[in-house]
Amino acid sequence: MATLGGAAGWALDRYVIDHVEVANASNLVAPKASVAQADTSGTATATTYTSQTADLRLTRAETGSGNSKVTYFVADVKVSDATILRSAFANDEFGENIIANTSDIAAGAGAVFAINGDYYGFRDTGIVIRNGVAFRDSGARQGLAFYADGSAKLYDETTTSAAALVDAGVWNTLSFGPGLVENGAVIGGIDSVEIDTNFGNHSVQGNQPRTAVGLVDNNHLLFIVVDGRSNGYSRGVSMTELAQLFVDRGARVAYNLDGGGSSTMVFNGSLVNNPLGRGQERGTSDILYLAG
């Protein structure tokens, strides 16, 4: 059999071929909270969800018109226990280039609500702590840490370690960026940030589809997905515009996740948003979710 060599072979190995490092990853997660059976009404188009552990309010919003129109979705979530917010990997495997649709990962995890995560599998750097377990310790950029006490903060990955964060009570980390909001204010200069120098992922500039997460107060979360690249439906937003959406809703901290065609929100098993105006999901490596 002929084999590819040189740059082509390297690119396929690095960005296409699955590299499974941990199989059945959810088995490593120590359960820290149980989620009650949901007390819901309606269908997947319902705008509220209530259980003994979480209250969720989902809204659709539009601004502007014509080619300046922006369509986005906001999930305002209050939980009684911070560990109700969990993460899951595509195919329940940790590694590089392992992908599945957000809705499929959510179904496998029993999620009532989910967004795409940071696409950790596209890169081999970053601190990856999920559901209290450290999977990768290679600090490279600004990250977001969710703590088991319900708080969250931006941090510099290069100044700490995964073990130290777990010892400090970190439940989940995200490694994409940039940070959008800190101390309740939009962070300056975020429209010119380069988050990576990886092939095909140099910047997050311009008006784009976006996914981001923020914290209003302990155990009070905001998830925002903005559709884009679809004239007349949604142009997408800049980083500063995205940050302002969080500030307008009282967020103290917010953080950008993987965007573009990956930007996806799922509720009760159905796709909420309209990725790229096509209604089709694109595979990703991980999700953030609320169990149901």
Kindly report which listed range (47-61, 89-103, 245-259) carries the lowest average pLDDT score: 47-61
Q: Give me the sign of the Cα torsion angle 94, 99, 101, 102.
A: positive
The region that residue 44 occupies, defined by phi over 0 for left and psi between -120 and 50 for alpha, beta otherwise, is alpha
Give the per-residue pLDDT at 217: 98
How much is the average pLDDT of 73-95?
97
18 vs 231: which has the higher pLDDT: 231
For 198-217, give one letter per residue: b (16+ CB within 10 A) or e: eeebeebeebbbbbbbbbbe
| Pairwise CA distance, residues 206 & 96, whole Å | 27
Report phi then psi at 86, rounded to 5.
-130, 170
Task: Report the amino acid identity of residue 119.
Answer: Y
Where helices occur in 79-201 by DSSP H, the ranges are 102-109, 162-167
Kindly report which listed range (174-178, 197-201, 228-232, 272-276) carries the lowest average pLDDT score: 197-201
| Pairwise CA distance, residues 196 & 188, whole Å | 19
pLDDT in tens, 110-145: 999 999 999 999 999 999 999 999 999 999 999 999
Alpha carbon separation from 43 to 40, 61, 78, 268, 284 (Å, rounded): 9, 20, 21, 8, 26
67 vs 20: which has the higher pLDDT: 67
Which sequence spans correspond to the domains of the chain? 35-291
Question: How far is C-alpha 4 from the geometric centre of its chain's CA atoms?
Answer: 34
pLDDT in tens, 3-61: 445 544 434 454 455 566 776 676 665 444 333 333 333 333 448 889 889 999 999 99
pLDDT in tens, 174-208: 999 999 999 999 999 999 888 765 545 445 789 99
